[in-house]
Amino acid sequence: MKALLFPGQGSQFVGMGKDLFESFAAARGILRRTDEVLGFSLSGLMFDGPEEVLRETRNAQPAILAHSMAAWEACGAPWAPNTLVAAGHSLGEYTAYTVAGALHLEDALRIVRRRGELMYAAGLKHQGTMAAVLGADAERVQAACEQVEGIVGLANLNSPGQIVISGEVPAIGEVGRILKEQGAKRVIELKVSGAFHSPLMESAAEGLKGVLESAEIRPAQFPVYANASASPVVEPSEIRASLVRQLLQPVLWEPSMRAIARLAPEEFLEIGPGQVLKGLLRQTDRGFSCRTLGTVEELQAIEVGG
């Protein structure tokens, strides 16, 4: 069994996917379809920037999905569905459902583009931010959140030593102060346009719910471990509910990885730009084997190595 992992926002970079486009006809097809669906040259933005425009939520999300799908198609999707499980980090959950056949690529691109717009608008409506906490466990971070006034809570349980919090700016600052006094290594405010994965995304979740209800979603061909529950999801109604919930609730990434590990996959494969998820997996358990598939060199290695 292979466990497929798909990265989320923050993994984008100028130049992403360009080598795939130049080397694989299947990747070129995905990126050209992406441009057609969205009505502008997202591939040009991916290849040449500028970085500040690529980093915008509405652009970064479809760019990462397109890169991951280009890599997946370029590697030839060589494994049977009954030998796969998957998970995607936040935005990456959409990629996982697309690879699993639950979403058409065209629908997935339109949805994540709209998702990015809705998240940005919610950030303007309810000012908030996020911060990464290094060197404190989830229980300690949760306790600190409960000590302060305002909206703040866990947003990402990424690995044993990396928790992300999300909420109102003053509350984030106060939680950070408490945790540093208690011995946390670092509290790093993230460059984001809103308090993602928190109740401050309520307006975005409502808008996204309508978008998902109008989209065709089919049963997934293999289980996808949902961010909001760390449990496998297959049915369309569960997929819709999970994608709305993940905007408002923590991304249970470490619990998802441990749940998948109990299935004893022979390896994890991070498909898409960067190696963020590989790094989180190593922080969770150095015994987990993970390869990355996002560049021509990496894809050529898997063609040789199987």
Q: Hey, which residues are catalytic here?
A: 90, 197
Question: Which tokens sit at 2?
Answer: 């292979």
Distance CA 154, CA 178 (A): 15
Detail the DSSP E strand segments found in the chain.
Answer: 2-6, 84-88, 129-134, 152-159, 162-167, 186-189, 224-225, 232-233, 267-271, 290-293
Counting every residue written for the chain, the total comes to 306
The percent of the chain in helix, strand and coil, each rounded to the nearest 5, is: 50, 15, 30
What's the distance, CA 67 to chain centroid? 13
| Cβ-based neighbours of 52, under 8 Å, separated by 6 or more | none
